[in-house]
A and B are shown apart, each in its own frame.
Chain A
Amino acid sequence: MKAPLYIVDGVRTPFCKMGTALASADAIELGRSAAAALLARTGVDPAQIAEVIFGCVGQPIDAPNIARVIALRAGVPTQVPAITVHRNCASGFEAVTQAAEKNAAGQGDLFLVGGTESMSRYPLLYNESATRKFTELSKAKTLAQRIARLLRFRPSDFSPRISLQLGLTDPVCGLNMGQTAEVLARDWNISRDAQDRFALRSHQRAAAARGRLAEEIAPFYPRGSHAAVAVTADNGVRDPQTLEALAKLRPIFDRHGGTVTAGSSSQITDGAVALLVASEEGLRRTGLKPLGKLIEYAYAGCEPARMGLGPVFAIARAEAASGLGLADADLIEINEAFAAQVLACCEASASPEFAKEHLGRDRPLGDIREEILNVNGGGIALGHPVGATGARLVLTALNELHRRGKKRALVSLCVGGGQGGALWLEAVS
């Protein structure tokens, strides 16, 4: 990177399982809540912001360019533009890195960025046949025509297509995300037990980190409910979670000998994150004090059926650009899409064969030490609101660096469709 991008501060809503505490809110309202809380918390004059950039994977139909809607509703003045970005699961990263790119291109020095997702609100869709019949019906001119066209509907026309399921299925390789994790489990021989142990550790770490995570959460206040409610904490963490309970679960993506269960997959979750980022000039101009900075980042593509290995490719690229390797990291975050997928990344990073064959390098990336990996738990316990997760990883890692008095964090995630993203962050004291 030519110039670092400073992360001034960040805040997020609680992350809550689909259909629970945040289900009454849409992605706009979640994003607005986080953005408004952040503006209040930093005290920044919103008119100073150059652009608002938000990631969102399942954009609500009623808010095309959801970033603009969030910006206006959070009190950002009309003259400040806004753009929504989409890099699937890395959309929250993309919002941050796009701010860095805009800054490098001289397009602003202070950005409100983040990600938002309401997986509760993913709509059910009419199938293609029903859609066609509705269109014909709407064109009917006479009563007779209308009746004739109504009679063409069949019960099967009303079985909905579940957009969440569709979104989690790769249209190129035909596998859904869980099935890609099964591929990795087979490739790298990752046992059911290893996956369950990883999942258990995620819950245990997240449960222990509850107090720490509370620092990055701004309570969410659902509107329109009969009683006054404040949602103050994540609700996906199972405390206590046990190996026995995990072992009882059936594989859900592959009934025949599969190893990936709901317990070792990330949760389907609602939530939003907002970050305020600035260049050095932006900091000078506003007098804001930064939490940390983004010093390098990379995105890399890989095979869609093995999208879970994306982080390895991205980390390799980031190393090529910056010279920073796994050994330089005081903390590592790899988003827990699936336990099998994170474990496969660890294996691949340490594998000389993989390095030679896929990364074009003669030595492996190195070891990903368990004690610095996802120290506060990850998507398995906290949930993975796809558009928001990237921004959360940045926020959680920076806060943890400060708590530990450490310097550098490497945060990465795999991306449906076969990509990976990796960001190098540095604490600023």
Chain B
Amino acid sequence: MNISRQIDSAGICTLTFDRPASSANVFDRATLAELDAHVADLEKEPQLKGVILASAKPKIFIAGADLKEFVRAPDADALGEIVDLGHLIFTRLAALPVPSVAAIHGVCLGGGCELALACDWRVASTGKVTKIGLPETQLGILPAWGGCVRLPALIGLPAALGIILPGRQVVGAQALKLGLVDELAHPEYLHDAARRQLTRGKRVVHPRLFSGSRPFKALVSAQARRGVLAKTHGHYPAPLKAIEVCAAALGRPLEEGFVLEKVAFLSLLETVECRNLIGIFFLQERAKKLSVPAPAVAAQVRRVAVVGAGVMGAGIAQWVSARGIPVVLKDVAPDALARGLHTAGSIYREAVKRRVFTMTEATAGLDRITPVCADVPLANVDLVIEAAVEKLEAKQAIFRDLETRARADTVLATNTSALSIDAIAGGLANPERVVGIHFFNPVHRMQLVEIVRGSRTSPDALATAVQFVKALGKLPVIVKDSPGFLVNRILLPYMTEAVRMFRAGGGVAEIDRVMLDFGMPMGPLRLADEVGLDVAQHVAADLAHRLAHPMPVDDTLTAMIAQGWFGKKSGCGFYLHSGKAPGARPNPKAAIARGAVVMRPLEAARMRDRLVLIMVNEAARCLAEGVIEAPEDMDFAMILGTGWAPFRGGPLRYADSLGPAEVVRRLEVLSREVAPHFEPCERLREMVAAGARFYPPETYSRP
């Protein structure tokens, strides 16, 4: 029983969605069938005056269609059937002789939104949890239960594309402005508002004469296409398809629009992009459910101390405080704290500008950060996150001090990106409470957090870290304490290889272009500038020192650093970051770092293989060494942590798409013709010998 029905004496029927044993309502076959049965009954109800659709869940109206059902569908026919079923039932509801209204409180996405669109009227609650949208394109598909047809008809083509193309979700007030809902009400008065809307009767649809005209639609479509292509470099077919369908369906009879939707939907589902994007969705869901199995107990983290007010410490303090948790921010000098608070304050200010927070919320957030220079009692602190300088002796001293002052059950975490957890915990009486919680820069943007398990880290400490990171709204991945952990271990060889290519005569823009075309959010040399050339050089040298298969590091970066070029922070690196259009022009003087090297033009495909396969090779090694447990962890971490071309599904998924044999073949060519460090790793060779792949064929990660 997913839907309950009540009809009051006035003839108003309320259909309440309440999926048993779940915090969310979703549309699966059973729910669709139930809805159909209710509507069929209502058709026979003589006294019926109106229908209200509501949810009994506190935070969710209807979260969308049950993705698992689509994934499990045996073939295109079965999928087409589900699409038809949705069209049929929603239209049947819309065709009732009495008015219908969706009373939306909580998340109303995808199929839930499309159901609401099929109603005559919509009212939304003012609650912050209310978010309305059609996120299908983010999964590589498009709204196919009437969303592409009904939304443009309701709010016009430009506004509809503004929602559908980016998969944007709007809160009640924005929805009202867009005309997506007809009235806004406090959750307590939502039902009354819905009844008020019913008195308006059935909605009369006026044809859009101008905005439905061919020239107008062509103009809007062309503009939208340009916008999409500029963002996606043509890697994502779904938004383009959505533009076509929305424009074509507008002004046509519903049924014709439905057919267009269905055809487009089924063709998109066939694409590799879609499969990989849905795979990522499942991986995110998996990360949200990640936990350390019992008997490990995660401690509740009510108060946090962050040691070190640098960019990372301040970023962590800001994010933690924004989640309602008080933070003591410790550094040795007031000036350092001033900079840290300034950083946190700027992040909050920016968020207020983007309307993520109100001014009051931002002030309350900053209020939760208490700066301290002196050693303060830590009895109330449940978790300490150290984010001080990346020097082992300094960190060890901090942890020795923390151990004596923190409560015995306080988890001591380090945000180190390079040092070994075991080494940091080395001199402690209780090394088992030390764990790595590695945030990425900038903390407020990067969703991935590496949780590093030292060899002596206790399950409880690990569980607390995982629980805490999830409570922060970040996505955790558990990795073994090994050099570079996961993301840096893969990224550094990639950046170093790009630098080697630059040294061999490659142009800065050309090298980055190759990776942008591959689908990376930014090229490797620009990434080096963002990270800071000194940091990149330091981490690369450190990894070269500690890894069994180190990557040769040349002195190009050292030469650049000697010029005072540290990347973005110093205004100059591989690119110029100052003056007009900062970051747009390559540094014309960078070539001096090449030394006396003969310029050789590099071929794009060769460049791509060098940059990508070096990551694949390293990823395979990580898997073999047990840095992570499953290939999913790797692909998930790289996509979420670095923006690794999502539609390609991550380095290991990409390796599978080429086939391990092809990967090994290309690596062997590279190791012969470029440098020996391309030598394919043991794991890849074994896989070729066994005819194995990283993933079982044709599966989504964890449906």
Determine if A227 is an interface residue (Cβ-Cβ < 8 Å). Answer: yes
A45 partner residues in chain B, CB cutoff 8 A: 380
Q: Which of B332-340, B639-647, B672-680 contacts A (4 or more CB under 8 A)?
A: B332-340
In chain B between 334 and 381, which residues have their CB closer than 8 angstroms to a CB of chain A?
334-335, 337-339, 341-343, 345, 349, 363-364, 366-368, 370-374, 376-380
Determine if B242 is an interface residue (Cβ-Cβ < 8 Å). Answer: no
Of all chain B residues, the one with the shortest Cβ separation from A223 is B345
A221 close to B367 (CB less than 8 A): no
A40 close to B372 (CB less than 8 A): yes
A221 close to B328 (CB less than 8 A): no
How far, in angstroms, from A225 to B345 measured CA to CA in the complex? 10
Q: B342: which of A36, A40, A228, A232 is its contact (CB, 8 Å)? A: A228
A74 close to B367 (CB less than 8 A): yes
A37 partner residues in chain B, CB cutoff 8 A: 370-372
| Interface size, B (range) | 20 to 34
B378 close to A227 (CB less than 8 A): no
How far, in angstroms, from A223 to B341 measured CA to CA in the complex? 8
B367 close to A36 (CB less than 8 A): yes
Determine if A42 is an interface residue (Cβ-Cβ < 8 Å). Answer: yes
B345 close to A73 (CB less than 8 A): no
Given contacts A40-B328, A41-B376, A227-B342, whether A219 and B337 have CB atoms under 8 Å apart is yes
Determine if B476 is an interface residue (Cβ-Cβ < 8 Å). Answer: no
Determine if A68 is an interface residue (Cβ-Cβ < 8 Å). Answer: no
Of all chain A residues, the one with the shortest Cβ separation from B348 is A223
B341 partner residues in chain A, CB cutoff 8 A: 221, 223, 228
A73 close to B367 (CB less than 8 A): yes
B377 partner residues in chain A, CB cutoff 8 A: 42-43
A43 close to B378 (CB less than 8 A): yes
- Distance in angstroms from B374 CB to nearest chain A CB is 7
How far, in angstroms, from A43 to B349 measured CA to CA in the complex? 29
- Distance in angstroms from A104 CB to nearest chain B CB is 29
How far, in angstroms, from A249 to B378 measured CA to CA in the complex? 51
Of all chain B residues, the one with the shortest Cβ separation from A228 is B342
Of all chain B residues, the one with the shortest Cβ separation from A227 is B342
How far, in angstroms, from A175 to B328 measured CA to CA in the complex? 48
Q: B370: which of A36, A224, A227, A228 is its contact (CB, 8 Å)? A: A36
How far, in angstroms, from A224 to B341 measured CA to CA in the complex? 10
B335 close to A43 (CB less than 8 A): no
- Distance in angstroms from A213 CB to nearest chain B CB is 15
B374 partner residues in chain A, CB cutoff 8 A: 41
B376 close to A223 (CB less than 8 A): no
How far, in angstroms, from A32 to B367 measured CA to CA in the complex? 8
Counting chain B CB atoms within 10 Å of each CB, the highest count among A42, A43, A73 belongs to: A43
A177 partner residues in chain B, CB cutoff 8 A: none
A228 close to B378 (CB less than 8 A): no
How far, in angstroms, from A221 to B369 measured CA to CA in the complex? 12
Given contacts A221-B341, A228-B339, whether A40 and B376 have CB atoms under 8 Å apart is yes
A232 partner residues in chain B, CB cutoff 8 A: 334
In chain A between 1 and 45, which residues have their CB closer than 8 angstroms to a CB of chain B?
32, 36-37, 39-43, 45
How far, in angstroms, from A39 to B345 measured CA to CA in the complex? 21
In chain A between 58 and 102, which residues have their CB closer than 8 angstroms to a CB of chain B?
73-75
A228 close to B335 (CB less than 8 A): yes
Determine if B567 is an interface residue (Cβ-Cβ < 8 Å). Answer: no
B338 close to A230 (CB less than 8 A): yes
Given contacts A73-B367, A75-B326, A228-B342, whether A219 and B334 have CB atoms under 8 Å apart is yes
Residues 378-417 of B, flagged 1 when their CB comes within 8 A of A and 0 if not, give 1110000000000000000000000000000000000000
A227 partner residues in chain B, CB cutoff 8 A: 342
Number of A-B contacts (CB under 8 A): 60
B380 close to A43 (CB less than 8 A): yes
Residues 225-238 of A, flagged 1 when their CB comes within 8 A of B and 0 if not, give 10111101000000
How far, in angstroms, from A41 to B370 measured CA to CA in the complex? 10
A230 close to B328 (CB less than 8 A): no
- Distance in angstroms from A115 CB to nearest chain B CB is 20
Interface of A is mostly: loop
How far, in angstroms, from A39 to B379 measured CA to CA in the complex? 12
Of all chain B residues, the one with the shortest Cβ separation from A42 is B377
A230 close to B335 (CB less than 8 A): yes
Given contacts A37-B370, A73-B364, whether A230 and B345 have CB atoms under 8 Å apart is no
B339 partner residues in chain A, CB cutoff 8 A: 228
A230 close to B368 (CB less than 8 A): no
A39 close to B370 (CB less than 8 A): yes
Of all chain A residues, the one with the shortest Cβ separation from B375 is A41
Given contacts A45-B380, A75-B326, A223-B345, whether A40 and B370 have CB atoms under 8 Å apart is yes
- Distance in angstroms from A220 CB to nearest chain B CB is 9
B367 partner residues in chain A, CB cutoff 8 A: 32, 36, 73-75
- Distance in angstroms from B325 CB to nearest chain A CB is 11
A39 partner residues in chain B, CB cutoff 8 A: 370
Of all chain A residues, the one with the shortest Cβ separation from B305 is A40
How far, in angstroms, from A189 to B373 measured CA to CA in the complex? 49
In chain A between 170 and 226, which residues have their CB closer than 8 angstroms to a CB of chain B?
219, 221, 223-225
How far, in angstroms, from A36 to B327 measured CA to CA in the complex? 11
How far, in angstroms, from A225 to B338 measured CA to CA in the complex? 11
- Distance in angstroms from A170 CB to nearest chain B CB is 37
- Distance in angstroms from A428 CB to nearest chain B CB is 19
How far, in angstroms, from A194 to B170 measured CA to CA in the complex? 72
B370 partner residues in chain A, CB cutoff 8 A: 36-37, 39-40, 75
- Distance in angstroms from B384 CB to nearest chain A CB is 14
How far, in angstroms, from A227 to B328 measured CA to CA in the complex? 22
A225 partner residues in chain B, CB cutoff 8 A: 342
How far, in angstroms, from A158 to B635 measured CA to CA in the complex? 68
A32 partner residues in chain B, CB cutoff 8 A: 367
How far, in angstroms, from A232 to B377 measured CA to CA in the complex? 22
Counting chain B CB atoms within 10 Å of each CB, the highest count among A45, A223, A224, A225 belongs to: A223
B326 close to A221 (CB less than 8 A): no
- Distance in angstroms from B561 CB to nearest chain A CB is 25
Counting chain B CB atoms within 10 Å of each CB, the highest count among A40, A41, A43, A45 belongs to: A40
B363 partner residues in chain A, CB cutoff 8 A: 73
Of all chain B residues, the one with the shortest Cβ separation from A221 is B341
How far, in angstroms, from A167 to B561 measured CA to CA in the complex? 60
B368 close to A75 (CB less than 8 A): yes
B366 partner residues in chain A, CB cutoff 8 A: 223
- Distance in angstroms from A109 CB to nearest chain B CB is 19
Residues 604-629 of B, flagged 1 when their CB comes within 8 A of A and 0 if not, give 00000000000000000000000000
A74 partner residues in chain B, CB cutoff 8 A: 367
- Distance in angstroms from B300 CB to nearest chain A CB is 15
Of all chain A residues, the one with the shortest Cβ separation from B345 is A223
A43 close to B379 (CB less than 8 A): yes
How far, in angstroms, from A43 to B328 measured CA to CA in the complex? 11
- Distance in angstroms from B321 CB to nearest chain A CB is 11
A223 partner residues in chain B, CB cutoff 8 A: 341, 345, 366
- Distance in angstroms from B28 CB to nearest chain A CB is 42
A230 partner residues in chain B, CB cutoff 8 A: 334-335, 337-338
Q: A229: which of B328, B338, B378, B379 is its contact (CB, 8 Å)? A: B338
A228 partner residues in chain B, CB cutoff 8 A: 335, 338-339, 341-343
Of all chain A residues, the one with the shortest Cβ separation from B367 is A73
The list of the 7 closest CB pairs from A to B, nearest first, reads: A43-B377, A228-B342, A230-B334, A230-B338, A219-B334, A228-B338, A228-B339
Interface residues of A, Cβ cutoff 8 Å to B: 32, 36-37, 39-43, 45, 73-75, 219, 221, 223-225, 227-230, 232
The contact sample of 29 A-B pairs, CB cut-off 8 A, is: A36-B367, A37-B371, A39-B370, A40-B328, A40-B370, A40-B376, A41-B372, A41-B376, A43-B376, A43-B377, A43-B378, A43-B379, A43-B380, A219-B337, A219-B371, A221-B338, A221-B341, A221-B342, A221-B371, A223-B341, A223-B345, A224-B345, A228-B339, A228-B341, A228-B342, A230-B335, A230-B337, A230-B338, A232-B334
A219-B334, A223-B366, A228-B339 known; 13 other A-B pairs, CB under 8 Å? Answer: A37-B370, A37-B372, A41-B372, A41-B376, A73-B367, A219-B338, A221-B338, A221-B341, A223-B341, A224-B345, A229-B342, A230-B337, A230-B338
Interface residues of B, Cβ cutoff 8 Å to A: 326, 328, 334-335, 337-339, 341-343, 345, 349, 363-364, 366-368, 370-374, 376-380
